[in-house]
Amino acid sequence: MRRAARLVLWSAVALFAAGVSPAQDRPAAQPKQLPVMVRKLTHAQKVLEALAREDYDLLRTHADGLAACVKDATWRINDTERYLLFSNDFAREAASLQKAAKDKRGDAATLAFIDMTLTCVKCHRYLRDEGIVRVPDLGPLAPRARAAE
């Protein structure tokens, strides 16, 4: 099981690393409150770190941060049934991550994190494929509209 968990963690690292912008690409002055998708990515990266280190305090903190992202007013950018399904799945997986962190169950936390990561990737793909326009407050991870055909 440990070997499989390591493989999954490294796969998640690769997914998140692919979407991270270098620090020099960020604007010099950042707003007080970072956009929700930037916060989500930051918390997810910290969750991955916590899982790798088996640091349950760090895991609890950032699992709570991920759960809070869903409650942000800018989270809901679409009212389609599919988007709401992805959003509800993410919220449920974040709650599972919080519980696993509280109970100090590393394998359960890892699985919740994997499920949450897959939901993120599927949702972002859906938004891109449907050409849903980027919402300005969402930062670099927001979906981009398809080019006119």
Domain for residue 79, yes or no? yes
Output the pLDDT for position 79: 85
CATH number for position 82: 1.20.120.10
pLDDT (tens digit, 0 to 9) for every residue of the chain, 149 residues total? 566 555 555 555 444 444 444 444 444 454 467 899 999 999 999 999 999 999 999 999 999 999 999 999 899 888 889 999 999 999 999 999 999 999 999 999 999 999 999 999 999 999 999 888 654 344 455 545 444 33
Q: Is residue 66 part of a domain?
A: yes
| Residue 61, phi then psi, degrees to nearest 5 | -60, -45
Domain hosting residue 96, numbered range? 34-133
Q: Does 59 fall in a domain?
A: yes
Residue 25 lies in a domain: no
Q: What is the CA radius of gyration of the chain?
A: 15
Give residue 98's pLDDT: 98
Separation CA 6–CA 12 (nearest Å): 10
Number of domains, the chain: 1
Report yes or no on 17 lying in a domain.
no
* pLDDT for the residue numbered 89: 98
Q: Is residue 100 part of a domain?
A: yes
Q: How much is the pTM?
A: 0.69
pLDDT of residue 66: 98
Helix (H) or strand (E) holding 108: helix 106-129
pLDDT of residue 54: 97
pLDDT computed for residue 3 by the predictor: 61
User: What one-letter code names the amino acid at 72?
Assistant: D
Nearest Cα to Cα of residue 68 among 48, 84, 44: 44
Does residue 16 lie within any of the structural domains?
no
The set of residues, in sequence order, having a beta carbon less than 8 Å from that of 65 and lying 6+ positions away, is 39, 42, 43, 46
Give the three-state DSSP class for 109: helix
Is 1 within the bounds of a domain? Answer: no
Q: Considering only CA atoms, which of 120, 139, 148 is closest in space to residue 26?
A: 139
